[in-house]
Amino acid sequence: MQSKYKISLLRANLLAAAVALALWTPTAPPAATLLLWLSVGWLFVTALALDFSHRRSPGLPWQMLAGTLLLGLIAAAPERHSLLVWAWGAVFMLPQHRWTAIFNIGAATLSCLFIASVMSLPEWLLMALSLATLSVLALSRTHQLINMNGDIRQRLRLVPGVNLWAGEQLLRDLMREQTRSEREAIHAEVLVIQVKRHQLWPVAQKLCELTYEFENVYRLNNTTLATLMLSRSPKEAAKRLTTLCAALPDSATFYHQPLMEIELDALSIDALSRYPKQRLSEAA
């Protein structure tokens, strides 16, 4: 409920910002009017499409679009839009990769240079220093939140209601299930699947439907999935493997191995994600 509340509040803020920019357009020069309407459209689309989902990645380049529009508005009419320079603090609060942050830092610097001509030197220096401090604090806070969310996601399902988990959960489950398999004579196999990037989520959902409720599917990276199959015997496991692989796209590659044959001491997510590629090259 808290997540839904925060999303609703953010959507309301985006819509309010879109309305404010729309009211600013009647007296704007032509170039600024075009950028204002582009910004209004982007804010409306973002607000309407906003949803709480672990599928969204902080690495998507849409943060660059926000920075580009903001820079364009300030450059088109610096004497009229100088107040928008403070919006860079909000831009730097968005989760973003380093290269995106570098782009936005450069755009914010250009914005400050554009409005230098409409301010006295002392005012401009005070504004630049204040904005730099605000931006550093925003970037620092965002970095902390990204690290915190990453730790949380390692312990949560990636999609609510579906047995899809982060790869770190697989490493924990392997240790537990290896001990259980040895104690209860259960045949366990690890199946690692590599797919194309756009196929990852559909294939993950399909695997969740084909596996038992007590089995999980794990996302190792943007192109690799894994699942831990528990069966009564190797023969049953072979039948299940055939069914699962038949439901995969033709372009998918897979690797499977009995859990008892895997050395878990030095195992990592990166090593697991390279299993199919390594096995195929060895076979070739």
Q: What is the pLDDT along the chain (284 residues), one digit of tens a residue?
A: 344 445 677 678 778 888 888 887 887 778 778 888 888 888 888 777 765 443 444 444 566 778 888 888 888 888 888 888 998 888 888 777 778 888 889 999 999 999 988 888 999 999 999 999 988 888 887 777 666 555 544 444 455 556 788 888 888 888 888 888 878 788 888 889 988 888 888 888 888 888 888 888 888 888 889 888 888 888 888 888 888 888 888 888 888 888 888 877 778 878 877 765 544 333 33
Strand partners, 217: 164, 227
User: In this predicted structure, what is the pLDDT of residue 43?
Assistant: 80
User: In this predicted structure, what is the pLDDT of residue 133?
Assistant: 92
Q: How many Å apart are CA 275 and CA 259, to the nearest integer?
A: 14
What does the DSSP 8-state code read for residue 157?
A: B
> Which pairing describes strands 224-231 and 217-221: parallel, antiparallel, or unpaired?
antiparallel
- Residues 211, 214, 220, 224: what is their CA dihedral angle, to the nearest 10 degrees? 0
Length of the chain: 284
User: In this predicted structure, what is the pLDDT of residue 63?
Assistant: 67
Which tokens sit at 55? Answer: 């599928």
User: In this predicted structure, what is the pLDDT of residue 241?
Assistant: 86
Q: How many Å apart are CA 279 and CA 255, to the nearest integer?
A: 7
